[in-house]
Amino acid sequence: MTSWPITVSEDHPFSIQNLPFGVFHTKQEQHSQARCASAFGDFVVDLAALQKANHLPDTCCFTNSSLNTFMSLGREVWKQVRSKLIELLSSSSSPLKDDTLRNSVLIPMTNVVMLLPCKVGDYTDFYASIDHATNLGKMFRPNEEPLKPNWKHLPVGYHGRASSVVVSGTDLKRPNGQKKGRA
């Protein structure tokens, strides 16, 4: 399958075969103007602009500042949207042949700020390895065996903090030793 109106090689991380969803605003806009997008080559496809121009299903909510509503619509809607995107980005008879529409929909990645794509309310995390589980077991149960007998027979999850989910590249303030408290 070839891409159009821009050429994106098949080995590009965001080729026509891989159209991931995300949330962005342009560098000139405020965070409050965030909307949904898909990556395509070195561009983002403004899904809100495509929907506003009636080229995506009405059921989608791409003017939202998160993908939560879109994710809640389910697999059939996701497949419809992805199929429509592939059609728009691979057909020379696409409405994107119109320069005005194309320029409003395809925005160079160098001009955008990517944001957290969804609002994370809560999540469950799972121990990643025996070492991870053993180290935490030693901290939480210092006077007991670090691993319970069932650890190797069923997945063990724990409550994760939603505040720890951030966009890639976000600067994090990490703990650096201990400070003596005030008396």
Report the alpha-carbon distance of residue 109 to residue 92 in Å, rounded. 23
12 included as an active-site residue:
no
Out of 12, 25, 31, 132, pick the active-site residue. 132
Report the alpha-carbon distance of residue 20 to residue 59 in Å, rounded. 19
| Angle, CA of 128, 132 and 137, to the nearest 5° | 125
Q: Comparing C-alpha atoms, which of 28, 26, 46 is closest to residue 37?
A: 46
Report the alpha-carbon distance of residue 67 to residue 135 in Å, rounded. 35
Catalytic residues: 132
